Structure 1
Amino acid sequence: MLRLRNHLLSGVRAAFPPHHHPFSTTTPATSPARFAAEEYLVVTCGLTPAQAAKASKGLAHLKSPANPDAVLSFLTGAGLAKEDLAAGIARFPQLLCCKVDKTLTPRFAKILSIGLSPTQISRITSIVPNIFVAPSMISRIQFYLSLLGNFDLLHFALKRTPYLLGQKLELVKPNLALLLQCGLTASDVALFSKLLTTKPERVKELVACAEKLGVPRNTGMFKGALWAVHCLGHDSIGAKMDLLKATFGCSEAELALAVRRAPQILRISEGKLSRTLKFLKVDVGLKLQYILLRPPILGYSLQRRLIPRHYFINILKAKGLAKENIDFYSAVCLTEEKFVQRFIDPHSKTIPGLADAYAAACAGKRPHDIIL
């Protein structure tokens, strides 16, 4: 028996020879070989040291890299990108503990059978790596693919709500039905994926609160109203309305009209709203009534859109290259490309450097620091 025991021990030592880790305080002669999980995660899997330190706790029971090596070999051989695997392992390090034959092979085949390509599986693995150990998630992928119509919307929804596939469809379907009744499209549902996982009673409250803002269902603005209520919480809407009324210095009726036209203004912080309002009234010279009738203007970036466009329109006016009655809101609403085509390109020869100066201003450089 003693001879057999010594024989087995010598075989183990031959298979896993002891090594000395540079940070170890023990010597190879006195300590058995150990699987250095953190080092493996960094060197082999591509995790950052911080990610590896956290993820290694889930691999503390491993004695060798044999199974992790087999997992990586199978998944990379199946077409998964190393970057996606690294992201997935950082989220769910236990993926490296899966059995290739019993778990990964049949699950991977099942996911392929519902119509996903290896590249698409790779992208999902980076977000929901535990899909290989939870068979119910695979059927849910099939459900959302059918609902959303394409993989890109599914991927977008999972990025916003990684736990979406972990939610039972019995909870999701009532919320989905209500959102569709409100006129939301498949792409809207992907945007509102967090609401799908919310308690149905809560979703009903949010919908009712959005309607109380005066925005009817099945209108283009309802989505914005629902999102604003979702972000703020229906209990905070009243306080936000009072704050907006005080900031604008307007009547309740004027504010209600502005919110119906652009419910997204409810999500603008008090500081940004005050700075933007001051600029529009003092620098641009707009009346409050003009602004309230065009509330989307309050949501544009002050530094990257409002200030640069105001500054360059004034340059053109000063040089007699633009009409004095340019409507500021119309100019602000233009896309970057169209604004440049209409206001910058036609005058670039007359004012050398105008296009470059405008590009610099939109990139964050203060227009008043730009010399033309």
Structure 2
Amino acid sequence: MYSLKILHGRKSLELQKWRHLRSVVNLLQNESASPIILSSPSHSFSSASDVSSLQVCRKGNNFTVSYLVDSLGFTTKLAESIWRKVSSEAKANPDSVLNLLRSHGFTDSHISTVITNYPRLLTLDSEKTLAPNLKFLQSREGASTSELTEIVSNVPRILGMRWHKAVGRYYDFVKDIIEADKCSNYEMSLPHGTCQENIIRNVLALRRLGVPQRFLFSLLTSNFHVVSGKERFQESLKKIVGMGFDPTTSKFVRALCVVYQMSHKTTEEKVNLYRKLGFSTVDVWEIFKKNPLFLALSEKNIVNSFETFIGLGFSRDEFVTMVKHCPQCIGLSAESVKKKTEFLVKEMNWSLKALVSNPAVFGYNLEKRTVPRCYVIKALMSKGLLGSELPPLSPVLAVTDEAFLTKYVMKHDDDKELVAELMSIYRAS
């Protein structure tokens, strides 16, 4: 039996047309390219939200959800999300961070942009990390307050870097890119053959395709070298564009990185491995469009995932079906998949076919989402309020917390004691 735990706090973009695609690709054919670096993509697949009101209490003197909303203009949802991140850090002192930024000329508008793009900044040590970096940047020749605030607002992760050499280098890159955006002839003034020239040229090429600035600058502040060399960058970009990835999305950047990092031989070997497991070549590339990281998984992880599902009683065809509908399934740990399958099948009595039809359940947090909801269902069934058969998986686990509580708890609001009992089960530890 799993013990219940308190449930803690909880766009699609239309494909846009880009008019300068051909000119960008042609430009790349005549320009040199070199490394760009990309922030590590998130691999998180679990989700949990909080239907109860987020408790607005103080951490420091002034930092509250209402402060983020009223003073910095955040939406309540974004403010609560940032609050949760900060509240989870015991040593975080967001007030000191905000005061430090203001003392260096950052307005509330600047601060709003900085925190939105980099919430973790509020958890950093203002004295040991942020202040030294701000002082170092201010000491750079020709660095004005307006320039500093503009660059940090665009790439706030600079302030979280540990080494002044890295801070200064990325500061210069961002400064050059901002200046290049303001001057159509800027590229012509760059020293030919330099790393700086190559990085800026690649970033500007992506900008012309419509890649948002926040993604471009994230390329500069990551520890992972992603793009290097003229031919490979050009070839990878053409391939991703040709597949129909939307340049305005983070998925475009992830796909570009995956394709660039893999040689033709490695890609072919990976596709052949998936074919041996039951996928067609068309399947592989369709799944890649949904989740580019699908192709970046190691052979060991792919095989282990396949063997885990087969060992639990799923057929080869069922495994393929689940991954096609929910590619993240193949990236989950064996332990996680086993625990979730055993709970849903052995303890709750849903069939394996029910899981095949709802593969997203393998990504939900077991203790914070799945178990609390399932125990509410068990309680309702024990009282004869749901009949003798389990409800389908989807309306129990795939819906939002609010929708779940409305359907299975609040519908009994004529019985206050029952509602209280069900909420107690839902939130019990």
TM-score range, shorter chain: 0.5 to 0.7
Task: Find the partner of 1:195 among 258, 266, 269.
Answer: 258
Counterpart amino acid of residue 230 in structure 1: A
* Residues 1:286 and 2:357 are matched in the alignment: no
Structure 1 stretch 300-309 or stretch 42-51: which is displaced more? 42-51
**2-structure distance, mates of 1:65, 1:259:** 49
Per-residue CA deviation, residues 46-95 of structure 1 (Å, 9 max, x unaligned), is: 9767769xx99xxxxxxx98982545535655633489275266355365
Counterpart amino acid of residue 239 in structure 2: L
Partner of residue 139, structure 2: 68
* Residues 1:311 and 2:375 are matched in the alignment: yes
Partner of residue 360, structure 2: 296
Counterpart amino acid of residue 335 in structure 1: T
Q: What secondary structure is seen at the aligned counterpart in 2 of 1:304?
A: helix
Between Structure 1 and Structure 2, the one with more helix by share is 1
**Aligned 8 A contact 1:160 1:193 in 2:** no
Q: What secondary structure is seen at the aligned counterpart in 2 of 1:249?
A: coil
Relative to structure 1, is the Cα distance of residues 158 and 214 closer, same or farther in structure 2, using a 3 angstrom cutoff? farther
**Aligned 8 A contact 1:210 1:229 in 2:** no
Per-residue CA deviation, residues 90-124 of structure 1 (Å, 9 max, x unaligned), is: 35536559999xx998765224347xxxxxxxxxx
**2-structure distance, mates of 1:258, 1:136:** 42
Instruction: Choose between structure 1 and 2 for higher RCO, CA contacts under 8 A separated by at least 6 residues.
Output: 2
Identity of aligned residues (%): 15
* Residues 1:110 and 2:180 are matched in the alignment: yes
Counterparts of residues 16-165 of structure 1 (less than 5 Å) = 68=139, 70=141, 72-73=143-144, 76=147, 79-81=150-152, 84=156, 87=159, 90=162, 92-93=164-165, 96=168, 108-113=178-183, 134-154=196-216, 163-164=225-226
User: How far off its partner does 1:333 sit?
Assistant: 1.3
Task: Find the partner of 2:338 among 242, 249, 274.
Answer: 274
**2-structure distance, mates of 1:109, 1:286:** 59
Partner of residue 19, structure 1: none
Relative to structure 1, is the Cα distance of residues 66 and 281 closer, same or farther in structure 2, using a 3 angstrom cutoff? closer
* Residues 1:334 and 2:404 are matched in the alignment: no
C-alpha RMSD of matched pairs (Å): 4.7
Per-residue CA deviation, residues 18-62 of structure 1 (Å, 9 max, x unaligned), is: xxxxxxxxxxxxxxxxxxxxxxxx99999767769xx99xxxxxx
User: How far off its partner does 1:134 sit?
Assistant: 1.6
**Aligned 8 A contact 1:148 1:154 in 2:** no
**Aligned 8 A contact 1:153 1:190 in 2:** yes
**1-structure distance, mates of 2:128, 2:337:** 38
Counterpart amino acid of residue 311 in structure 1: Y
Relative to structure 1, is the Cα distance of residues 251 and 206 closer, same or farther in structure 2, using a 3 angstrom cutoff? closer
Query: Where in structure 1 are there 5+ consecutive unaligned residues?
Result: 1-41, 57-63, 115-131
* Residues 1:227 and 2:227 are matched in the alignment: no
* Residues 1:245 and 2:306 are matched in the alignment: no
**1-structure distance, mates of 2:176, 2:411:** 62
The structure with the largest alpha-carbon Rg is 1
User: How far off its partner does 1:170 sit?
Assistant: 2.5
Counterpart amino acid of residue 310 in structure 2: K
Relative to structure 1, is the Cα distance of residues 158 and 343 closer, same or farther in structure 2, using a 3 angstrom cutoff? farther
User: How far off its partner does 1:332 sit?
Assistant: 1.2
Relative to structure 1, is the Cα distance of residues 317 and 139 closer, same or farther in structure 2, using a 3 angstrom cutoff? same
User: How far off its partner does 1:284 sit?
Assistant: 0.9
**1-structure distance, mates of 2:136, 2:332:** 51
Counterpart amino acid of residue 366 in structure 2: L
User: How far off its partner does 1:177 sit?
Assistant: 3.2
Counterpart amino acid of residue 144 in structure 2: S
User: How far off its partner does 1:282 sit?
Assistant: 1.9
Relative to structure 1, is the Cα distance of residues 181 and 81 closer, same or farther in structure 2, using a 3 angstrom cutoff? closer
TM-score, length-normalised on structure 1? Answer: 0.60
Query: How many residue pairs align between the two structures?
Result: 293
TM-score, length-normalised on structure 2? Answer: 0.53
Task: Find the partner of 1:178 among 218, 239, 242.
Answer: 239
Q: What secondary structure is seen at the aligned counterpart in 1 of 2:361?
A: helix
**Aligned 8 A contact 1:306 1:332 in 2:** yes
